[in-house]
């Protein structure tokens, strides 16, 4: 009898291994990078428009603004013998500190205003370049997301860019295009957008989902409550709890970053359990780059640590391996582009236009364009 049990043990282990592989395959099966949703079509994203030796978007990122401010600091220092912003490198000066300097209306404010004007000119140029692309034809509104506008400096620069775009379109006798800031805080838009991508059946059965927004500098993880039954258009969706990790300061390797994300999500699952919140067995993950249907990444991940496009790396599967079951269900991990997801958080507030787009100002410049479906088109789906 004992020898028979020993003979059967390897078979049981092999079966368990096959079952685990099948479970992980189902968990990571997607859909990933979905472009056709019930109420909106994602026309394109991660466009890379050439501009000289680089890309147009590189001139309108948060990094670009820092370079512009560096140039003005150097100019003022050369003229006055002293840097008006002090000794700290620009990358170490917070948005709040820049706003304080701007409010004091001194030499530092002049340097910041000059950099802000340079940035506004570049941002307007980039918007106009995108509007010329075939996938942006007919766009009536451009939503500006990302963290840059969460400051007085950034908000002023975007407002100035909006004026410049309006003036240029009027001069060329083209239809006006509105530039509008994202409704949600930048740290939350990239999480809330997942309520429009998650499987509808899951949203009907649970109160909230988990969402992740991976950027080149920070990772944000949160619990998003849908409020679906009181607002079917998801306009009341909100982040109940959010964790932010400035991973760029820690310089983790790729797999260490995935480990860190899994650890944060485990903590959020435990928080939901303690609060008796009905959490769906679903994790939506937004990250830079081109997302393939199988959940792999094909370009645009240069701001992330390590090689995210390796055939041996599959972010949804690797996260599934690290995550516990949620509410006893098989945890499903879905992947999409970060700009797409942040833009989708604006979906309930764009129903007055047919075509719209988003630009997210972060370490780089993300972009996506959309076409809202008519009620007739939605009924056919």
**CATH numbers and ranges of domains, the chain:** 50-181 (no CATH), 185-345 (3.30.420.40)
pLDDT at 18 over 70: no
Q: What is the pLDDT of residue 330?
A: 81
In DSSP notation, 154-215 reads: HHHHHHHHHHHHHHHHHHTT----EEEE-SS-HHHHHHHGGGGTS-HHHHHH-SEEEEEEE-
pLDDT at 148 over 60: yes
pLDDT, tens only, 318-350: 999 999 889 887 889 999 999 999 999 999 999
Token duo for residue 375: 């009620």
Least confident segment among 124-138, 275-289, 340-354, 361-375: 361-375
pLDDT, tens only, 238-285: 999 999 999 999 999 999 999 999 999 999 999 999 999 999 999 999
pLDDT at 17 over 80: no
Q: What is the pLDDT of residue 25?
A: 57
Distance, in Å, from the CA atom of 213 to the CA atom of 166, rounded to the nearest integer, reads 32
Q: What is the pLDDT of residue 94?
A: 95
Q: What is the pLDDT of residue 5?
A: 44
pLDDT at 16 over 90: no
Q: What is the pLDDT of residue 365?
A: 93
Residue 93 per-residue DSSP state: S
pLDDT band at 355 (very low <50, low <70, confident <90, very high): very high
pLDDT band at 2 (very low <50, low <70, confident <90, very high): very low
Mean pLDDT in residue range 96-101: 98
Whether the predicted model's global pTM rises above the 0.75 cut = yes
Mean pLDDT in residue range 167-183: 98
pLDDT, tens only, 303-320: 899 999 999 999 999 999
- Taking alpha carbons only, the member of 202, 211, 195 closest to residue 281 is 202
pLDDT at 29 over 90: no
Kindly report the number of other CB atoms within 10 A of residue 150's CB atom. Answer: 18
pLDDT, tens only, 38-87: 999 999 999 999 888 888 999 999 999 999 999 999 999 999 999 999 99
Distance separating the N- and C-terminal Cα atoms of the chain = 59
């Amino acid at each position: 009898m004992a020898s028979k049990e020993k003979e059967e043990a390897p078979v049981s282990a092999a079966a368990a291994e096959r079952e685990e592989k099948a479970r992980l395959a189902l968990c990571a099966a997607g859909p990933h990078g979905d472009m056709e949703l019930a109420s909106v079509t994602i026309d394109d994203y991660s466009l890379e428009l050439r501009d000289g030796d680089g890309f147009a978007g590189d001139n309108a990122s948060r990094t670009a603004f820092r370079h512009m401010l560096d140039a003005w600091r150097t100019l003022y220092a050369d003229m006055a013998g002293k840097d008006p912003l002090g000794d700290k490198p620009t990358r170490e000066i917070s948005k709040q500190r820049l706003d304080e300097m701007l409010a004091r209306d001194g030499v530092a404010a002049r340097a910041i205003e000059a950099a802000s004007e340079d940035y506004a000119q570049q941002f307007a140029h980039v918007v106009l370049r995108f509007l010329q692309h075939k996938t942006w034809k007919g766009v009536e509104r451009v939503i500006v997301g990302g963290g840059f506008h969460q400051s007085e400096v950034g908000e002023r620069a975007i407002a100035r860019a909006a004026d410049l775009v309006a003036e240029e379109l009027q001069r060329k006798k083209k239809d006006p295009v509105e530039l509008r800031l994202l409704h949600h805080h930048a740290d939350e838009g990239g999480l809330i957008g997942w309520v429009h991508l998650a499987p509808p059946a899951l949203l009907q059965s649970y109160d909230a989902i988990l969402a992740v927004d991976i950027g080149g500098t920070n990772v944000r993880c949160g619990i998003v409550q849908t409020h679906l039954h009181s607002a079917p258009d998801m306009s009341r969706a909100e982040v109940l709890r959010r964790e932010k990790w400035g991973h760029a300061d820690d310089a983790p390797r790729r797999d260490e970053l995935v480990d860190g994300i899994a650890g944060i999500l485990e903590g959020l699952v435990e928080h939901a359990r303690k609060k008796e919140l009905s959490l769906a067995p679903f994790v939506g993950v937004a990250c830079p780059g081109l997302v393939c249907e199988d959940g792999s990444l094909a370009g645009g991940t240069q701001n992330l640590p390590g090689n995210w496009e390796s055939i041996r790396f599959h972010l949804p599967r690797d996260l599934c391996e690290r995550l516990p079951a949620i509410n006893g269900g098989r945890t499903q991990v879905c992947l999409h582009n970060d700009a797409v997801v942040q833009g989708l958080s604006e979906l309930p507030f764009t129903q007055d236009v047919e075509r719209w787009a988003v630009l997210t100002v972060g370490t780089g410049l993300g972009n996506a364009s959309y076409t809202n479906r008519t009620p007739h088109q939605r009924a056919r789906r």
